[in-house]
Amino acid sequence: MGLGEGVVTGLTKPAFAMEATFQTPDLVRPWRRATIVASTVAALELVLLLCAGAVLLARPLSHALHNHAVAAARTAAVKPAATPPAVHRHVAAAKPSLSRAQTKVLVLNGNGEDGAAHLAATKLQALGYEIAGAANARRDDYATTVVMYKPGFAAEGKRLEQDLHAKVVGPLDGMTPAALDGGQVAVILGAN
């Protein structure tokens, strides 16, 4: 081996060319971890923001719904639908022109209790009244029993009010005479 040979064989690779060994997995991994951590933090922040927004919006919304419900309840309490005022009306003390047996009464259940209309109809029959019918009223939230009469039958209505110990009596209100099924007087049973 000569000097030239050894140099040539030893210089098969240039001396300035070094093998570059990059550790790419180590450089990529921290970047991936950082991205995953940042994404997780962002997702948690989004969830927290959504929860905070829901809480902030829920309170005014619940207050608005509550205020609307209170206003609706006050409106309903101020003007009841078809119930005459809870003031005892004084009807002229006239003698009824019809006897109890000739007076037809329509009994309506306005308190929501099952069978209340039929029970009251049986009681009225025992007192001598003729029953035109017994059914449920359109509403079932009457607070007190109401006696209503057709025009010309105020004395019969007053007598029925006394027989039932009702507190309210007056002319037909919210009902037509045809709705009485041939009766002259209607009773809408209330809670008391």
Same domain, yes or no: 110 and 71: no
DSSP 14-38: -TT-------HHHHHHHHHHHHHHH
3-state secondary structure (DSSP) of residue 134: strand
Structural domain of residue 56, as residue ranges? 19-79
Q: Is residue 72 part of a domain?
A: yes
Hey, what are 45's tokens? 């922040």
The pLDDT score that the predictor gives to residue 91 is 47
Tell whether 163 and 120 lie within a shared domain: yes
CB-CB contact of 117 with 90 (8 Å): no
Co-location of 24 and 63 in the same domain: yes
Separation CA 191–CA 104 (nearest Å):
23
pLDDT in the model for residue 65: 79
Per-residue pLDDT at 86:
52
Regions of the chain with pLDDT less than 50: 1-2, 6-8, 11, 91
Note the pLDDT of residue 148. Answer: 93
In this structure, the answer to whether residues 181 and 152 fall within a common structural domain is yes
| Coil vs helix vs strand at 8 | helix
| 86 in a structural domain | no
- What pTM was computed for the model? 0.51
- For residue range 167-188, list pLDDT tens digits in order: 899 998 888 888 888 899 999 9
| 112 in the same domain as 48 | no
Half-sphere exposure (Cβ direction) of 57: Cα atoms closer than 13 Å: 6
Same domain flag for 59 and 127: no
End-to-end CA distance of the chain: 130
